Structure 1
């Protein structure tokens, strides 16, 4: 079956070398790219630059001039799919597919995009019966999720308190991914594209805590895990979490948990915790650094 709403061209899951420069380039199809972790990679499109310092999805459209300057110090892994959309289908109504301002979209908390990207690449690799149909449905779900994340105060009225704006979800993910670094509220506000005051007010509304208080809570949660998983001194753990002042760390930990770090380690420590290696982000069922060429029509059944 060749007359389809979506036609896939190529895809891959690659880990590029540090410092690589790709572009400027113009595509004749759409490309959706998922970066599972933040880095110092810079993406430029339509005259605007973005530092991809947290997990995100990029959507590049046909005829959109863009380029990548990958992290100068570390390899950078990303998953990508190139595809076309039938202009006569109903899919072209997505703002994502026609508006250049939507290029870099934070991956929200509990997003299914990571799993769907991996599943699509698995289908491209194995090509089981009806693989094209299943891949189309996965891509359609991803477009729906990304499109829903574009709902903002300007086009949907006042915030529904049950719906978290993507700027706040992105900030929460950034805090989780950078819990071992110094994080400033002003920095989070800039990443969200909001003023410090608006960011702080909106964060408090949806999270229930001021940003600074939430950062401390997450750092103390990370500290509690490290105390159980590692044998390093408490001073070293404090330093690893960005605390130059060990005594300040002790005060925060006791205020958060109700006990000192030493008491916490003694009460909850378990030697089995220190035997566990950090888990892989997700298992892989297809070859890494492999390009799947999908242009040639083939059987779907």
Structure 2
């Protein structure tokens, strides 16, 4: 994760020479891609990466006028914010407030997937009643400083829609900014209605760790229950509380992510992919795929090329 381009600050950032910067990093790579929202409203960019191998640690940085929200999708991440260690797991979000110095510590960035949103604060973009309401929402989010919360599944899903969308044309940043506004509003609403959740149950953490180790094979919710060492009822309750969605929906989303990758990187038929991922039929697969992606598997394969993957355009190969 590198939401802001540290090179623009003029020197490498370290504890002794931290140079604040508010210049967003908009450079996509083969395993990390970023959607430029064009500065419409407060939202500057949405990014997602998939690191298959550990990466160099994120250097210490600080943004005087930017809010950073980071959502782990797979894997456990550890940030150091203003000298305090803040681990973040799937189903949670870390809010890095403007003016907070943060990094990923001295160790490498772990393999996994992370989604993030970068937004400006202040009133430079405010123009009209809706903007003023959104400014108030963002102000409420940062009022408590940098922290880790439970993340509503809807917030994550809306941001995933942004990173999976076509980025060309005038409509794209307008549509993306609208989804970001809904995502941030849902995050603020959920934070108002519930107290900060208790730490993730160790059994749920065991299940997620086991899932990361078996990501390439067919896995059912029963396997997760077994890996957790919990009863089915207790596991479903704790998993939904911690991750923000049911085990069934979480597994379905992972299968759709894998399907997007296979549709672009292989010549397997849609039926073969459906069966390989445990769907009972290609019709069931197509219905689920359209629900998450907004188009059929065939349309997706036609519209997204291998070149898009190599440029980091498609969200499932970050």
Q: TM-score w.r.t. structure 2 length?
A: 0.47
Q: For CA contacts below 8 A with separation 6 or more, give which structure has more relative contact order.
A: 1
Query: Which structure would you say has the larger Rg?
Result: 1
